[in-house]
Amino acid sequence: MQRVLLIFGTRPEAVKMCPLARELMRRGGVEATVCVTGQHRAMLDDVLRFFGVTPKYDLNLLRPGATLTELTGAMLAHLPPVLRRERPDLVLVHGDTATAFAAALCAFELALPVGHVEAGLRSGDLAAPFPEEFDRRVVDMLSRVCFAPTAEARDNLLREGKAPEAVFLTGNTVVDALRATVREGFDHPLLRWAAGHPLVLFTAHRRESRGAPMGSMLSALRRLLRIAPEARAVFPVHGDPALRSLAERELAGCENLRLTPPLPVETFHNLLSACRFCLTDSGGLQEEGAALGKPVLVMRACTERPEALRAGVLRLVGTREDDIVSAALTLLRDEALYASMARPSAVFGDGHAGERIADVIERGECDIFAP
């Protein structure tokens, strides 16, 4: 029996780790336990409830006004007792968050094997995404086994010196999550409000977007909705009070816009499935949009998910107001271009990534559990 401890703390991690946790829990050869740090709180709890995953450990470390450095310090203090108590055969972390970084470092220092889900993504720029590019690279270095979501991610790891037998190509578990959340006939007041109009889903929250870039993004959204009154836009605003205040101020008076708090995962995924396209600085939305056949305009200068660029379902539009507005108007009004981008792509997997990861763990492949 392989004993596995999954550690995560943010909503995006939960979306991608809960399907894997459920798959591991149904396996006869695996004993899976979940620990959450609470790096996100309400947004995390929503995903846990939807997937029916109950953590054994909820550290609840987020404090109002805490910096990311302070939160990371709290994780480094509170995770080792959990790891010592459980002594798992494998610690599973995900992606590029402070939780993943802290958990991998604590496990490594306790000589516990680390498995990294969604390993190998690279933008090539430590400043974008910031600090996630750094976190992901360090977690990959500390990991005994890496579960790469794409062939390019696998090749990145091999080029950096990971042993081939330590890298497994699995697909991305976010596609597994979409199979559980997106459904025909989903109804919601926001969908009824936007019925008969092209719906734009807008998100912006990254640290490197704050300041002038964020102002430019919000100005672009306001201008787009003025030029294209036929469009409707939904902006689920991140929980940061400063961002909420800025968005309310900059977008006041936009009648064809709805600002909302962060939406439940099922609602958000079904809005994405129903929208015409997405404007975002997010990473995960690039994968979700590609899987659902929704064009994604990425308000960043680079991406750690270039596979979607090559597949033609994603475009980098940067953070200049004129560039964002121009690209969005084109997707609203150029049907030929829209049709070329609005097609589902399997570049991030087929919805069975969790099964492949669970197979590797249950079989004890790659000497994962060797001392």
pLDDT tens digit sequence for 21-48: 999 999 989 999 999 999 888 789 999 9
Active site residue 205: yes
Instruction: Please state, in angstroms and as integers, the Cα–Cα distance from residue 19 to each residue in 5, 78, 128, 220, following that order.
Output: 14, 25, 28, 36
Domain boundaries, the chain: 2-172+349-367, 189-341
Active site residue 187: no
Percent of the chain predicted with pLDDT > 90: 89
| Average pLDDT of the segment spanning 71-98 | 97
pTM greater than 0.75: yes
Active site residue 96: yes
Kindly report the backbone phi and psi dihedral angles of residue 94, in degrees, each rounded to the nearest multiple of 5, phi listed first. -135, 130
Active site residue 238: yes
User: How far is it, in rounded angstroms, from Cα 272 to Cα 71?
Assistant: 31
Active site residue 94: no
* pLDDT computed for residue 334 by the predictor: 96
Query: Which is the catalytic residue, given 22, 205, 210, 320?
Result: 205
Partners of residue 355 on adjacent β-strands: none
Provide the terminal-to-terminal Cα distance of the chain, rounded to the nearest Å: 16
Query: Which is the catalytic residue, given 13, 23, 132, 321?
Result: 132
Q: Which CATH superfamily is domain 189-341 in?
A: Glycogen Phosphorylase B; (3.40.50.2000)
User: How far is it, in rounded angstroms, from Cα 158 to Cα 359?
Assistant: 21
Contacts of residue 135, Cβ cutoff 8 Å, sequence gap at least 6 = 96, 97, 98, 100, 101
Query: Which is the catalytic residue, given 87, 183, 207, 310?
Result: 207
pLDDT tens digit sequence for 175-201: 999 999 999 999 999 999 999 999 999
Instruction: Please state, in angstroms and as integers, the Cα–Cα distance from residue 25 to each residue in 6, 148, 215, 352, following that order.
Output: 11, 21, 45, 15
Percent of the chain predicted with pLDDT > 70: 98
Query: Which is the catalytic residue, given 238, 269, 276, 305?
Result: 238
| Two domains, one topology: 2-172+349-367 and 189-341 | yes
Active site residue 46: no
User: Coil, strand or helix: which one is 196?
Assistant: coil
Mean pLDDT score of the chain, rounded to an integer?
95
| Annotation: CATH topology of 2-172+349-367 | Rossmann fold (3.40.50)
Q: Which residue has the tokens 């959340």?
A: 181
Partners of residue 202 on adjacent β-strands: 279
Query: Which is the catalytic residue, given 89, 96, 133, 140?
Result: 96
Query: Which is the catalytic residue, given 46, 118, 133, 176?
Result: 118
